[in-house]
């Protein structure tokens, strides 16, 4: 009897140890695998339609992987190249024409000094030479950052390979994998279904809603700035797309200060165009987000913001999607706990 108990304890200890080692082995590949799992779920209807047409799972999965590459990867690479080129232009301008920086500073100082209610003389409290020197130093460091970005291309290519390799097989065997996990899970079937539905709904909401809105808002901000002569429109567009995750006010944090800055420097017409266009762009979030996302997330906007920012801090750019999914599963687990132990909780609370 005791020997049998020792066998059980040893088995579970070995299982935990081996599982931990397996986690360490898989840890560098977790993020691309999670992205592949999300994409496999989102593109499973397209895969099923392709499978009915061609009746070959391998061919159908390969076609969907190609479709994903055309929709996602190629635009990301093109935007990254444009952003790098604009950053290089900015840094070259700082190094080659520091007097332009000095002139800009003088204009700002004069404009601020003309506002009597502020009562601040920037020329007295700031050392222009120190500012220019600091900008030069920043530009040199930024060039090193750009070089490291180029060196990281190999890691990016490797991650993309893992993601597409995983996506290929998850499209084919994803349902079998889910069934196997459900068989091994000690949770009840209804609880497992709750978690699966939550994963599916959040995945759809983040891709269909948040990502699409971010892309459209970023593109419109970039085109608006390009049309009004604002420098580095691609960088501003990318910034607007990223910051659009903040509900209601997100993209306004980009176009509002830029529009006011343009008016501040005397181009009133362009500034008004930017502000008017910015108001129109911001309405996209208020009008489209409820329709595209609907009630799929069932999460408070503050939780969406925190989970997105925390996801980016932990996983990088993929955290924009992974973060909210994990937080939604976390909330779902607590909901399951509340349902299972409702009687005990009511007794203790009363």
Does residue 7 form part of some domain? no
What was the pLDDT predicted at 159?
85
Torsion sign (Cα): 151, 152, 158, 160: negative
Assigned domain for 106 exists: no
Is there a domain that residue 181 lies in?
no
pLDDT of residue 103: 54
91-122 as b/e: b if 16+ CB within 10 A: beebeeebeebeeebeeebeeeeeeeeeeeeb
What span, in angstroms and rounded, lies between the C-alpha atoms of 83 and 333? 41
- Residues 330, 337: Cα–Cα separation, whole Å: 11
Running DSSP on this structure, what letter comes out for residue 1? -
User: What sign does the CA torsion over 137, 138, 142, 143 have?
Assistant: negative
Residue 138 lies in a domain: no
Range of the domain at 344: 188-350
- The predicted pLDDT at position 126 comes to 46
Q: Give strand ranges (E) for the chain.
A: none
Q: What is the pLDDT of residue 120?
A: 44
Separation between Cα atoms, residue 232 and residue 85, nearest integer Å: 9
What per-residue confidence (pLDDT) applies to 214?
Answer: 81
Contact 224, 281 (CB under 8 A): yes
| Residue 122 confidence (pLDDT) | 44
Q: Is 268 inside a domain boundary?
A: yes
Nearest alpha-carbon partner for 149 in 202, 84, 86, 196: 84
How many domains in the chain? 1
Write the CB contacts of 239 (distance below 8 Å, at least 6 apart in sequence).
Answer: 218, 254
**Interatomic CA distance for residues 221 and 197, integer angstroms:** 35
Mean pLDDT, 10 residues at a time, the chain of 350 residues = 68 88 86 87 89 89 91 77 70 59 52 46 48 52 58 76 92 87 79 80 74 83 86 81 72 84 80 88 73 62 76 78 82 80 68
CA separation, residue 6 to residues 10, 14, 223 (Å)? 6, 12, 69
State the DSSP string of 234-297. Answer: HHHHHHHHHHTTSTTTTTHHHHHHHHHHHHHTT-HHHHHHHHHHHHHHHHHHHHHHHHHHTTSS
Q: What is the pTM (predicted TM-score) of this model?
A: 0.67
What pLDDT is attached to residue 31?
84
- Residue 306 forms part of a structural domain: yes
pLDDT, residue 284, reads 72
C-beta separation of 281 from 221 below 8 A:
yes
Q: Which of 218, 220, 215, 224 is nearest to 258 (CA)?
A: 224
Rounded Cα distance between 88 and 146, Å, is 8
User: What distance in Å separates the CA atoms of residue 335 and residue 158, rounded to the nearest whole number?
Assistant: 38
> What is the pLDDT, as a whole number, of residue 274?
87
For residue 24, what pLDDT is reported? Answer: 87
Closest CA to 211 of 241, 247, 255: 241
Alpha helices in 57-97 (DSSP H): 57-68, 74-96
Establish if 20 belongs to a structural domain: no
Residue 214 domain-assigned? yes
Cα dihedral across residues 179, 185, 186, 187: positive or negative: negative
Quick one: pLDDT at residue 181? Answer: 82
Looking at residue 115, its pLDDT comes to 45
């Amino acid at each position: 009897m005791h020997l049998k108990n020792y066998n059980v304890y040893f088995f579970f200890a070995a299982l935990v140890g081996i599982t931990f080692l397996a986690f360490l082995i898989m840890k560098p590949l977790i993020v691309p695998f999670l992205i592949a799992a999300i994409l496999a779920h989102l593109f499973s209807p397209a895969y099923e339609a392709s499978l009915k047409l061609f009746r070959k799972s391998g061919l159908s999965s390969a076609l969907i992987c190609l479709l994903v590459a055309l929709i996602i990867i190629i635009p990301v690479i093109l935007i990254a190249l444009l952003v790098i080129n604009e950053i290089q232009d900015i840094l070259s301008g700082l190094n080659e024409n520091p007097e332009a920086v000095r002139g800009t500073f003088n204009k700002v100082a004069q404009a601020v000094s003309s506002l009597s209610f502020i009562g601040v003389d920037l020329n007295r409290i700031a050392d222009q030479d120190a500012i220019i020197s600091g900008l030069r130093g920043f530009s040199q460091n930024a060039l090193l950052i750009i070089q490291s970005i180029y060196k990281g291309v190999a890691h990016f290519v490797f991650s993309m390979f893992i993601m597409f390799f995983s996506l290929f097989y998850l499209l084919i065997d994803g349902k079998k994998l889910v069934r196997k996990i459900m068989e091994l899970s000690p949770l009840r079937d209804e609880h497992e279904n709750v978690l699966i539905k939550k994963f599916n709904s959040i995945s759809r909401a983040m891709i269909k809603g948040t990502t699409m809105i971010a892309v459209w808002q970023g593109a419109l901000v970039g085109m608006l700035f390009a049309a009004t002569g604002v420098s580095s429109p691609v960088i501003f567009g990318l910034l607007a797309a990223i910051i659009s995750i903040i509900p209601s006010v997100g993209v306004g944090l980009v176009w509002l200060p830029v529009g006011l800055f343009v008016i501040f420097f005397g181009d009133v017409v362009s500034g008004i165009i930017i502000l008017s266009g910015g108001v129109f762009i911001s309405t996209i979030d208020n009008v489209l987000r409820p329709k595209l996302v609907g009630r799929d997330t069932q999460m408070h906007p503050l939780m969406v913001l925190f989970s997105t920012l925390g996801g980016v801090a932990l996983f990088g750019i993929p955290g924009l999607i992974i973060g909210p999914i994990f937080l939604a599963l976390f909330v779902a687990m607590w909901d399951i706990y509340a349902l299972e132990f409702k009687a005990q909780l009511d007794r203790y609370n009363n």
